[in-house]
Amino acid sequence: MALGCTLFLLTNWVSTEYIAMRFEYQPALGDPLFQVGHTPVYPPFAWFLWGLHNITSHDPAVRRPLGEGIVILFFGCAVSIFLYFGANSLRSRRLSANAEHLHGSARWATVEDIRETGLLDARQGVYVGGWKPGRRSRLHYLRHDGPEHVLVFAPTRSGKGVSLVIPTLLAWNESAVIYDIKGENWAKTAGFRSQQGHICFRFCPVEQSYGSRFNPLAEVRLFTDRDV
């Protein structure tokens, strides 16, 4: 759009300057906007006013320069229109080529996508989901065993614990520190992990009846140089 308008303006200006040159920059053409050296530069649409003032003239010396200037104008306008529609057509083709992702490129993962992530073949690590090729097919668990962090984001009571956290704790062979506010993870996994040789502690300082506790003040060595 901007290119077409610019070309249209330049075409009018070229036509005006051509007519002024043919008239040898006579004073009757009016005052120019400015001068470039000794050449007057008139307003871009001055040709229209000159044509109105001489519309009834039959003098070839007047009509011929005006006619030639109008031919230049029509040719320039045709080029401007061609470029405008050409640019629009090119833009439409580009949009059509990218129409598949016009509203985003999110989609369900294919088998190739899942295998590329390495989640399908992992035998250790954090459970992050499952994949079932068909309704009657066996469920394949997806596990992440890399150095990257894993974040699970889902609403309350949507199954984060039973589907991801608890299976991970039951299959995790390494040490783990669990922030378990409700105590559900401890209740469902501590016994099994203890049977597998893990030493499990339930750190709950505010509870007196159960759990491990630690009083840092008890470690202060009284009546020594370090009791301050």
Assess whether 56 and 116 both reside in one domain: no
- Dihedral angle computed from the Cα positions of residues 71, 74, 76 and 82, in that order, rounded to the nearest 10 degrees: -140
In a shared domain, residues 88 and 113: no
Q: Is residue 176 part of a domain?
A: yes
Q: Is the pTM of this model over 0.85?
A: no
Q: Is 206 a member of any domain?
A: yes
167 shares its domain with 202: yes
Residue 136 lies in a domain: yes
Whose tokens are 């339930």? That residue is 202
35, 53, 57, 68 from 141: Cα distances, Å: 80, 87, 91, 80
> Tell me, what's the pLDDT at 102?
66
Residue 64 and residue 143 in one domain: no
Query: For 151-202, how does the pLDDT look when each residue is reduced to its tens digit (9 = 90+)?
Result: 999 898 888 899 999 999 999 999 999 999 888 999 999 999 999 999 999 9
Category of 5 on φ-ψ map: left (φ > 0), alpha (ψ -120 to 50) or beta:
alpha
Q: How many domains does the chain have?
A: 3
For 48-68, how does the pLDDT look when each residue is reduced to its tens digit (9 = 90+)?
777 777 767 777 777 787 777
Do residues 15 and 92 share a domain? yes
Same-domain pairing of 1 and 93: yes
Are both 159 and 221 inside the same structural domain?
yes
Tell whether 86 and 41 lie within a shared domain.
yes
What percent of the chain clears pLDDT 70, i.e. is strictly above it?
A: 94
Q: Are residues 144 and 159 in the same domain?
A: no
Catalogue the E-assigned strands of 97-168. Answer: 126-131, 140-144
Q: Which domain holds residue 206?
A: 154-227
2 and 24: one domain?
yes
Q: What pLDDT is stored for residue 199 in this prediction?
A: 94
Give yes or no: residues 88 and 178 share one domain: no
